[in-house]
Amino acid sequence: MNTIWNWLRGAFAAVGAGLGYFLGGCDGFLYALIAFVAIDYVTGVMCAIVDKKLSSSVGFKGIFRKVLIFVMVGIGHTLDEHLPAALAAAEKQADAFGEAFAKAHLNDKLHYFVGAGTLYGATYSYAMCYWEEMHWMRTKSIHAAEFFHGMLEIVDRDTAVTVFVGEDSQRELGQRVARFLPKVCDNFTVIDTRSFDLPGIPDAYRGDLCHLVMHAVTNRIDAHLEALSGHDMKLRRYYRQMEY
């Protein structure tokens, strides 16, 4: 009997330790979440009894939803533990590339940025908010799915094009553009977030986080562009300088 009891105590301790590690330990916020989840479930059962709609299948669905709440907490804790250091490492890894890219494109008359999926927002904002607004460099952003509906006809050997390739379900769209460009262009760059390590981050999350990796890379490009050009990225000619 003592052996069984000791085994059960060890099993509960192991499960508790595993959950504590996954959820980031037991603090006041976690206790509050557990209390709210329990109250929500109990009051739901009470209402079902009063309305005479008590159902075991509905109850199990409710339990599964509550479990998913704690799964999301665990995922958040994993990201909190590893993501800042992983992004810092990616930025360090990208520094030499950022310097070379900045030197190569400092004097571009026009630069095209192409992206899709999770990275299209990064493509759009980087072209407009960073190169145009902060560096005063002319750019155009285009969705990779639209590249073959017009833009391909104005690309020649000297056209500056950068393709952002992510790791989500639309990765193939960026890769398609990347495969085409060598046939017609000598001045293109492909930045693939898969090339950068993210220690501690499961591969399943990378598709949703690739815009953060790309931001780490472009941070280094921006830093070197600013140093090479001598143009302060905080300087504005018109934005909040005059009425419009």
Per-residue tens of pLDDT for the chain, all 244 residues: 567 666 656 655 565 555 555 666 666 766 677 787 788 778 888 888 888 887 877 777 877 787 777 777 776 766 667 788 889 999 999 999 999 999 999 999 999 999 999 999 999 999 999 999 999 999 999 999 999 999 999 999 999 999 999 999 999 999 999 999 999 999 999 999 999 998 888 898 899 999 999 999 999 999 999 999 999 999 999 998 888 8
Could you give the C-alpha distances from 185 to 138, 154, 221, 229, in angstroms and in order? Answer: 19, 11, 22, 26
Residue 220 and residue 99 in contact, taking contact as beta carbons nearer than 8 Å: yes
Q: How many CA atoms, within 13 angstroms, populate the side-chain half-sphere of residue 29?
A: 6
Residue 118 and residue 166 in contact, taking contact as beta carbons nearer than 8 Å: yes
Q: How many CA atoms, within 13 angstroms, populate the side-chain half-sphere of residue 93?
A: 19
pTM: 0.75
The backbone region for 161, taken as left when phi is positive above 0, alpha when psi lies in -120 to 50, beta otherwise, is beta
Q: How far apart are CA 243 and CA 67, in angstroms?
A: 53
**Partner residues linked to 165 by β-bridges:** 192
Residue 201 and residue 82 in contact, taking contact as beta carbons nearer than 8 Å: yes
Q: Would the CA dihedral through 204, 209, 210, 216 be positive or negative?
A: negative
